[in-house]
Amino acid sequence: MNDDIGQHIDEMIRQEDSGTRPSGQEAFDDLEPDQIALLLESLPLDAREHAWFQVPVESRADVLVAMRAEPRDSLLRLFDSEALDQLTSSLDAESLIELADSLPDEVVDIALARMDQRQRHYYEQSASYEDTQVGRYVDHELLILPHNSRVRDATRLLRRTVPEHTGHLWLINRTGHLAGAVPVTRLFSAREAQPLSELIDDEIEALNAGLDLKEATDRFELAAVPALPVVTDEGILLGRMTQSLALETLHEHYEAQLMATAGLDEEEDLFAPVMRSSRRRATWLGINLLTAFLASWAIGLFEGTLEQVVALAVLMPVVASMGGIAGSQTLTLIIRGLALGQITTSNVMPLLKKELSVGGLNGVLWAIVIGIVASIWFNSAAIGLVIGLAIVINIAAAALSGVLIPVLLERLKIDPALSGSVILTTVTDVVGFVAFLGLGTLVLL
């Protein structure tokens, strides 16, 4: 699939460069809306604008929903009043929820006015929840029956329609409260007159609509079913969380973590204007500059030592690099554990002891190797001893920091993926330089 998208990207850019753009919509005939969205996001702004008008009209709303916020906004700015009117003519509640933040309020109002009463009700329910809560994104295409229904009622319903991700029928009472979930597979061996209440699966857990989307996804993963019901605090059935939403949430979560390590937003446009991208990245570069100055200050404390023993300046990057790699390994492991809910107050200390043991073992091993190499290189056993001890100290400090930094950031409600690596790099650089140059001062001078 990636190769196909890549071929489409190359073809469209060649057409843009040569000025031979197709006049029809054949370029997207074999692509799904999410593939078209990815393709549009991969094009420079001018080519994206021209390609947008080749997207089939009936697919445009779905394509916009599938796009990231920034590239979607770049396309919506092209819409005149007629195009916006056409877009809102066929939106359902779920699509409008996705697009509402990108559309003018008056356009949202027009779209709502065109919906039937049920869709407006769905939209109002979803809009009452934050964009981090599962209740905002529930799927309303689910099979519902009164709690006193029988098997024949269920089979009759299944003959009429079977939405995607259907594994259960949902039973409600007269007030709309969830009364149970009936697996579709249990219907095949049941009698037609048998009450559905006798076939309820007691292991199905309802998700509260106010639950954090990532936490809901974690629970969904453990449930191993095509969909889970989503209910209000009072137990009223709102809709369901499907496999599609769970997969999309996981994808966005891990993409956000990856982008956060560089101080970027997962919604950022690949071809965002230069000034906007520059402003965003300047902040992160400034933060890194401060940490670099801190490391430089630590080096400056030993200026006299460096002037007399030039070998130390040559070997300094080795100490910093070994500490940085060791710390990054531990940091990545701990961030993953925090994301999966594996790390608690009870197991932090055993984990810290384990990582210190690993760091100590690796530190001694590589200290011996690097110490021997440095001794032969500079014909000085003292230099080999200094860098060996500094390696042990820095790798141990890296292991300690790799565990404590993300845990403390998590307690402070700060995303460890966003700032953990910057803090860790600063710690390993400063500790490594101070340990190496300090030992050099003591032993060599």
Structural domain total, the chain:
3
Q: What is the CATH number of the domain that holds 98?
A: 1.25.60.10
Record the pTM.
Answer: 0.68
pLDDT at 254: 77
Amino acid code (one letter) for 431:
V
**425 and 303 within one domain:** yes
Query: At 166, is the secondary structure helix, strand, or coil?
Result: coil
Is 197 a domain residue?
A: yes
**437 and 298 within one domain:** yes
Is 282 a domain residue?
A: yes
Domain boundary residue, one of 108, 130, 152: 130
**372 and 335 within one domain:** yes
**233 and 326 within one domain:** no
Residue 282 structure tokens: 């300047």
**345 and 231 within one domain:** no
Is 136 a domain residue?
A: no
Query: At 171, is the secondary structure helix, strand, or coil?
Result: strand
Query: How far apart, in Å, are the Cα atoms of 187 and each of 160, 174, 194, 382?
Result: 16, 23, 9, 80
**432 and 289 within one domain:** yes
Domain boundary residue, one of 80, 107, 130: 130
Q: What is the CATH number of the domain that holds 248?
A: 3.10.580.10
**174 and 83 within one domain:** no
**6 and 53 within one domain:** yes
Is 267 a domain residue?
A: no
Residue 29 structure tokens: 């005939």
pLDDT at 103: 86
pLDDT at 16: 67
Is 137 a domain residue?
A: no
**113 and 6 within one domain:** yes
pLDDT at 264: 66
Is 298 a domain residue?
A: yes
Q: Which of 70, 34, 66 is nearest to 267 (CA)?
A: 70
Is 268 a domain residue?
A: no
CA–CA gap between residue 116 and residue 118 (Å, rounded): 6
> Read out DSSP for 291-305?
HHHHHHHHHHTTHHH
Phi (first) and psi of residue 234, to 5 degrees: -85, -5
pLDDT at 303: 78
**279 and 255 within one domain:** no
Domain boundary residue, one of 260, 284, 315: 260
Residue numbers of the domain that contains 196: 144-260
**409 and 324 within one domain:** yes
Q: Are 404 and 427 in contact (CB under 8 A)?
A: no
Q: Are 255 and 390 in contact (CB under 8 A)?
A: no
Q: Which of 13, 21, 63, 64 is nearest to 42 (CA)?
A: 13
pLDDT at 332: 85
CA–CA gap between residue 385 and residue 381 (Å, rounded): 6
pLDDT of the chain, 445 residues: tens digit per residue: 455 667 777 777 776 666 665 544 566 767 888 888 888 888 888 888 888 888 888 888 889 988 888 889 888 888 888 888 888 887 889 999 988 888 888 888 888 988 889 999 999 999 999 989 999 999 999 999 999 999 999 999 999 888 988 999 999 999 999 999 999 999 989 999 999 999 999 889 899 999 999 899 989 988 889 999 999 999 999 999 999 999 888 888 777 776 766 666 666 776 777 777 677 666 766 777 787 788 788 888 887 777 777 888 888 889 988 988 888 889 888 888 887 678 888 888 988 999 999 989 998 999 999 999 999 998 889 999 999 999 999 999 999 999 999 999 888 888 787 778 888 888 999 999 899 899 988 888 7
Is 251 a domain residue?
A: yes
Residue 281 structure tokens: 């990245």
227 forms beta bridges with 242
**401 and 367 within one domain:** yes
